[in-house]
Amino acid sequence: MRDFPSCFGENGVQVADASCSSVGVNKSYQNSITCVYKCKLFGDSCLISIIWSKNLMGQCLTIEIDDTSHQCICKVDVKPSLFSKRKGSKCLEVKSSKIGVFWDLSLAKFGSALEPLEGYYIAVVWEGEMVLAIGDLKKEAFKKTGITSSVSSAIFISKREHISGKRVYGTKAQFCDNGPIHDLKIECDTNGNDDPCLLILIDAKLVMKVKHLRWKFRGNYTITVDGLPIEVYWDVHNWLFGPSLGNAVFMFQTNLSAEKLWNSSSLRDSSVMSWSCLESFREPKSQGLGFTLILYAWKNE
């Protein structure tokens, strides 16, 4: 492999070994986006999480790899101070083999979003194979790593995003590979409203309306986007009856077997729902699930 990085540490990068624990519920992660990819590593399935967040110092990036036993194999944290050069690489020794993590954000355009809109790549390499390559500069990633193949086997299985607002909560959503990117908005006024109503709009078009929300604070409904049936699950109990800092949860799933995922206690338990719902994707049967978008909507008081 050409230009494989040194295994010695770099300023601004922290590496956690297999003993690292899962990310706990933290206020900083109320402003974050997590993209989860299913990949092949060490001859078995693994999950790679790309976490974009922002703190007072600037943009943050975390790349975490988990194995099938739910253990964190390794984690790379890119501190905001490193974004002065906005590119780097790291070689990790795991299970007697090397994993290479590469990133280049030197041309990245973030706009108002936490994740880049364009001009970047992130790549994970193992044993001369491209395990994961994301971003619009994939060709540069393959050139940098010296990998001859032009594709990776990674499957984008879920996205988890924390959004906030007073009445309107918005984000961008892509429900299938190479599909169009849509504007998704959730509207709900629970302040001083005796009979609140929940609205979901895609590209400014109303696709779902729930009346008498105090009686229907949890439920599901099927919508159609890009010709795909998408099951929408919502739980706004905390908005209506919970603590003032509580959040609602919305899940958009392109496979109707999502009911199993939604009924998982880890997703419904508000004390841990921010991150431990990832356990649901680690089940072997989760291969049958389609793409899942989970939104945690926090109310701004």
Domain edges within the chain = 13-153, 163-299
Contacts of 126 (CB under 8 A, 6+ apart): 41, 42, 97, 98, 99, 100
- The Cβ-side half-sphere exposure at 243, using a 13 Å CA radius, reads 4
Structural contact between residues 189 and 196, judged by C-beta atoms closer than 8 angstroms: yes
> Rounded distance, CA 74 to CA 14, Å?
10
At residue 262, the pLDDT reads: 52
> Rounded distance, CA 249 to CA 243, Å?
14
At residue 83, the pLDDT reads: 55
At residue 64, the pLDDT reads: 93
At residue 81, the pLDDT reads: 65
pLDDT < 50 stretches in the chain: 1-26, 28-29, 256-258, 265-288
Q: Which residue is associated with the tokens 């492999």? A: 1
At residue 95, the pLDDT reads: 77
> Rounded distance, CA 52 to CA 63, Å?
9
Helix (H, G, I), strand (E, B) or coil at 38: strand
At residue 49, the pLDDT reads: 94
> Rounded distance, CA 139 to CA 177, Å?
18
At residue 67, the pLDDT reads: 80
Q: Burial level of 194, CB count in 10 A (0-12/13-18/19+)? A: exposed
> Rounded distance, CA 37 to CA 101, Å?
15
Helix (H, G, I), strand (E, B) or coil at 301: coil
**Which residues in the chain belong to E strands, given as ranges?**
13-16, 32-41, 44-55, 58-66, 72-78, 87-94, 97-104, 121-126, 129-134, 155-165, 168-173, 182-188, 198-202, 205-210, 218-225, 228-235, 247-253, 292-299
Characterize 128-143 residue by residue with b for buried, 16 or more Cβ atoms within 10 angstroms of its Cβ, and e for exposed.
eebbbbbbebbebbbe
